[in-house]
Structures are given as structure tokens and as C-alpha cells.
Amino acid sequence: MRYSNSNGSCSWDARMDDFRRLGSAALELCYLACGRCELYFEIRLFPWDFAAASLIIREAGGYFEIARLEDADYSQPAAVFAAHSKEAFEALREVVYRHLPEDLYQRSAYAKLF
């Protein structure tokens, strides 16, 4: 799945033609923070895998969400996603929430990290 905002409007290419693991979750999130990629989603990520990188994303002006944040048990994995821009984040959030079971994201909290 690829996201594009090159012409000023948000659009998704539904073909899954490019999916790569670039290393650890923290490294991938740092790539997002510096603009090497636009989107990040992981269904089961432990807090110690994303905590430091979420701060880096915050400092870079990115967007980050932990599903069911108020019910977070920091000893358990959680679904997380992030994006470099607000438009990409909202588009990713819509796609993720449309395809995940409702109980995973029902009480999710959205946070613009700045």
C-alpha cells in the first residue's frame, strides 16, 4: 500500500507493491521522523520498542498513536502507527481503523506530538 501527496491531494494506491522491514522498530520510526518514509504501522509492538523513537517523532513534528492508550498496559504489546505529515497520518488512521477489529481501537486516543 502506498500513500501519495505529490499533487496536493491525499490518495492511496491499494496495490501492495512495496513493503520492507528496514531494521528495528525504533530505527524505522526514526526514518519516518527524518523523512525517509511517510508511514509506519505495527500491530504488536512493545513500548520499549517505540518509546524513544516516539519522542524523536514528536521533536520532528510527526504524528503518532497507540491504540487504546488509556487502557495501556506497558508490559503488553500494542498497535501503533505514525506518519510524517498530518494528511498522511489521517489517511493511515482511517485505513487502519477500517480494517482492524473494533475492540482494538475502540477507545484509542489520538495525540499530535509536538
Is 11 among the domain residues? no
CA atoms of 28 and 35, how far apart (whole Å): 11
Closest CA to 34 of 74, 10, 62: 62
CA atoms of 106 and 39, how far apart (whole Å): 21
**CA distance between the termini of the chain:** 27
Is 10 among the domain residues? no
CB 47 within 8 A of CB 74: yes
> In terms of residue numbers, what domain contains 32?
22-112
Higher per-residue pLDDT: 8 or 29: 29
Q: What is the pLDDT of residue 113?
A: 36
Q: What is the pLDDT of residue 77?
A: 82
Query: Looking at residue 94, which CATH number applies to its domain?
Result: 3.40.190.80
CA atoms of 68 and 22, how far apart (whole Å): 26
For the chain, the domain total comes to 1
Give the containing element (helix H, strand E) for 6.
none
Quote the pTM value: 0.69
